[in-house]
């Protein structure tokens, strides 16, 4: 042990009567302050840097909850992006609800080495039992360390809080579970009076058990700063170095978890890496409570930039993730969002598309086609020319080879003429993507979805938001006639744009059904229990692929009206398909209730 360690008397717990709130740094009624001292910490990078993911835990606290199917797919994307190399080392999950546990089981079943599935619990033994029951090898546990949390939130003192935390750690080690203690609010904590003594106690237990005890440094309020000579507790580098040097925590057992309250989440995570903290805890697209966490895709790029390990991640998957969030989750990534936004690499410098190839490197940060699988978008100005207009149409509308538009197309000439008229009239700003879409739709409407297509997509969204949720209810999934019928009746009273709903078993035999409008009920008299529906498209497709299905418009044999059908598989707790739930929607209802349906779509997203 070094002389510095021998002389450090502050390794002992300081159990204050009153909380240390660092009012000189955090006055609350004023902007927080940064203090500096006369020492600077030089970089000493972690031997092996990696990323951990909290998309399904912290990230899920900032958006509507993911379904089990969505979690499983996003987990696949994480593995494809950086799990294959071990760069994305782990992903943490809530464990409290039945849905949480089914999501964990679905991801465990994929048997990926990385990201490892880990848990997140409060620091109590009842929660720890959930980890044991699921057979997880590691779990995070909430061990708050600032006096704001210990004294003001928990109503304890430091000695009592540490004792409680250590008792749960002891139980985890006894059960063979690697504990990962989340030092919540570490950038407002007494580093030497509480955090280091606590960390040293953890390391002693690790040595006795012969197992790792990991620590996550949580910059809960985003107070951390990357400045070399800033003081503890706000200095990221000095906090990390205190744990590696004073508490002798191996860098590979440390993670940094930051928040973006002060726009420093990315640089703070990188600073933690360069200071000896091996793990950077992130979320996809930066989703997280309040201002969010370090964007995982940004830390992927940062890792490659720092290490030169281009093959550690399949960076084109970033664009695949963006498409999934936009298409499946209906989340619009801001157009200028780095690496992911539609226009992040666009230039408004007026490059002619004819010269784009030779000039691309001047304006583009790197070869985005190779690295992210996306071309350089062009922003339309009076310098773009007809070639620029056709390039915009082809790239923004993602037209295939047969659909691609040449600059000599008559409609391109009309669009270009309207653009030039605007500049001749005094315009001096570029054309936005929305303005360009309006122009192109006016002169080339065949390139855009029809009203039928829009209504079909709207019905698909409603089905995925509402009917999928209904299919997961026990009253439906258990295939009991009375409860299922009652569920359908309640559902149709809330969403009367659906005219008819029905439930079959796996053989296609009708279990029960319900008609929304009493006037229509005689028309469906033949739809009685046991009627065979196994030859219907709406039944066959969900049974074959386990996915939601939506038919084209057709004329109903019952009412003679134009309809479409949405159907979803119904599954039990083991995700085994037990039946199919279907719903018929009249086209006229889609037209009459268009605005209501838009509201229903919003409601479905909020549920």
CA distance 449 to 391: 20
Q: What is the pLDDT of residues 117-166, one digit of tens each?
A: 999 999 999 999 999 999 999 999 999 999 999 999 999 999 999 999 99
Q: What is the pLDDT of residues 443-484, one digit of tens each?
A: 998 888 776 676 667 666 666 667 888 888 889 988 989 999
The whole-number average pLDDT for the span 570-574 is 85
CA 596 to chain centre: 29
pLDDT confidence of residue 598: 46
Note whether 147 and 21 are within 8 A (CB).
yes
CA distance 88 to 588: 49
Going by C-beta distance under 8 Å and a sequence separation of 6 or more, which residues neighbour residue 335? 341, 342, 343, 344, 433
pLDDT of 10 over the 60 cut: no
Banded pLDDT at 586 (limits 50, 70, 90): confident
Q: What is the pLDDT of residues 172-194, one digit of tens each?
A: 999 999 999 999 999 999 999 99
- DSSP states along 20-56: ---TTT--SSS-----B-S--PPP---SS-EEEE-TT
Going by C-beta distance under 8 Å and a sequence separation of 6 or more, which residues neighbour residue 139? 118, 119, 120, 121, 128, 131, 172, 177, 178, 179, 180
Q: Enumerate the H helices of 276-428 as residue ranges.
A: 296-307, 317-327, 356-363, 368-372, 385-396, 410-424
- Could you give the 3-state DSSP secondary structure of residue 457? helix
Nearest-Å Rg of the Cα atoms of the chain is 29
The whole-number average pLDDT for the span 324-336 is 89
User: What is the pTM for the complete model shown?
Assistant: 0.75
**Which residue is it, tokens 């349906």?**
597
Looking at every residue in the chain, the average pLDDT score rounds to 90
pLDDT of 574 over the 90 cut: no
Least confident stretch, 410-414, 430-434, 477-481:
430-434
CA 511 to chain centre: 37
The two tokens of residue 476 are 């439906």
Q: What is the pLDDT of residues 222-250, one digit of tens each?
A: 999 999 999 999 999 999 999 999 999 99
pLDDT confidence of residue 291: 94
Q: How far is CA 584 from CA 180, 274, 296, 538, 587, in A?
A: 50, 58, 41, 10, 10
CA distance 147 to 18: 9
The whole-number average pLDDT for the span 257-275 is 98
């Amino acid at each position: 042990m070094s002389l510095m360690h021998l002389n450090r008397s502050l390794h002992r717990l300081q159990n204050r009567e009153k909380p240390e709130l660092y009012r000189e740094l955090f006055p609350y009624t004023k902007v927080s302050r940064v203090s500096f001292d006369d020492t600077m910490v030089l970089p000493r990078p972690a031997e092996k840097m990696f990323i951990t993911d909290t998309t399904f835990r912290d990230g899920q606290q900032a958006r509507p909850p993911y379904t089990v199917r969505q979690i499983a797919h996003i987990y696949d994307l994480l593995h494809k992006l950086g799990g294959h190399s071990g760069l994305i080392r782990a992903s943490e999950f809530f464990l409290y609800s039945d849905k949480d546990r089914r999501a964990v089981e679905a991801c465990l079943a994929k048997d990926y080495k990385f990201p490892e599935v880990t848990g997140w619990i409060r620091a109590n033994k009842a929660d720890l039992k959930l980890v044991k029951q699921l057979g997880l090898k590691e779990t995070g546990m909430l061990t708050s360390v600032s006096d704001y949390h210990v004294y003001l939130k928990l109503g304890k003192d430091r000695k009592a809080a540490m004792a409680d935390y250590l008792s749960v750690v002891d139980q985890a080690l006894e059960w063979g579970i690697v504990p990962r203690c989340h030092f919540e609010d570490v950038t407002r904590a007494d580093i030497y009076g509480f955090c280091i003594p606590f960390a040293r106690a953890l390391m002693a237990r690790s040595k006795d058990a012969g197992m790792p005890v990991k620590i996550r440094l949580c910059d809960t309020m985003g107070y951390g700063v990357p400045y070399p000579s800033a003081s503890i507790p706000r200095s990221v580098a000095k906090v990390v170095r205190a744990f590696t040097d004073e508490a002798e925590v191996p860098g590979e057992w440390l993670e940094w978890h930051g928040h973006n309250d002060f726009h420093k989440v990315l640089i703070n995570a990188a600073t933690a890496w360069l200071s000896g903290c091996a793990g950077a805890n992130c979320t996809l697209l930066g989703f997280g409570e309040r201002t969010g966490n370090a964007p995982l895709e940004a830390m992927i790029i940062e890792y490659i930039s720092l290490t030169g390990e281009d093959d550690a991640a399949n960076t084109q998957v970033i664009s695949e993730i963006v498409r999934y969030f936009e298409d499946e989750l209906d989340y619009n990534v801001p157009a200028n969002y780095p690496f992911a936004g539609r226009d992040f690499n666009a230039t408004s410098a007026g490059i002619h598309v004819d010269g784009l190839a030779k000039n691309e490197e001047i304006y583009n940060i790197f070869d985005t086609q190779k690295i992210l699988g996306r071309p350089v978008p062009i922003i339309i100005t009076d310098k773009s020319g007809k070639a620029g207009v056709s390039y915009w149409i082809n790239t923004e509308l993602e037209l295939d080879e047969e659909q691609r538009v040449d600059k000599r197309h008559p409609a391109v000439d009309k669009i270009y003429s309207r653009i030039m008229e605007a500049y001749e009239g005094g315009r001096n700003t570029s054309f936005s993507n929305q303005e360009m879409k309006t122009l192109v739709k006016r002169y080339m409407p065949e390139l855009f979805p029809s009203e039928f297509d829009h209504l079909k997509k709207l019905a698909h969204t409603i089905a995925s938001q509402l009917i999928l949720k209904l299919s997961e209810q026990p009253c439906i999934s258990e295939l009991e006639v009375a409860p299922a019928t009652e569920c359908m009746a309640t559902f149709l009273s809330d969403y009367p744009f659906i005219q008819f709903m029905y439930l079959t078993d796996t053989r296609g035999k009708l279990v029960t059904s319900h008609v929304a409008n009493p006037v229509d009920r005689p028309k469906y008299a033949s739809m009685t229990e046991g009627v065979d529906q196994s030859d219907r498209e709406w039944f066959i497709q969900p049974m074959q692929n386990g996915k939601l299905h939506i038919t084209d418009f057709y004329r109903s044999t019952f009412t003679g009206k134009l309809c479409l059908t949405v159907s979803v598989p119904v599954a039990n707790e083991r995700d085994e398909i037990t039946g199919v739930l279907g719903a018929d929607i009249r086209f006229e209802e889609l037209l009459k209730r268009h605005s209501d349906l838009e509201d229903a779509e919003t409601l479905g997203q909020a549920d």
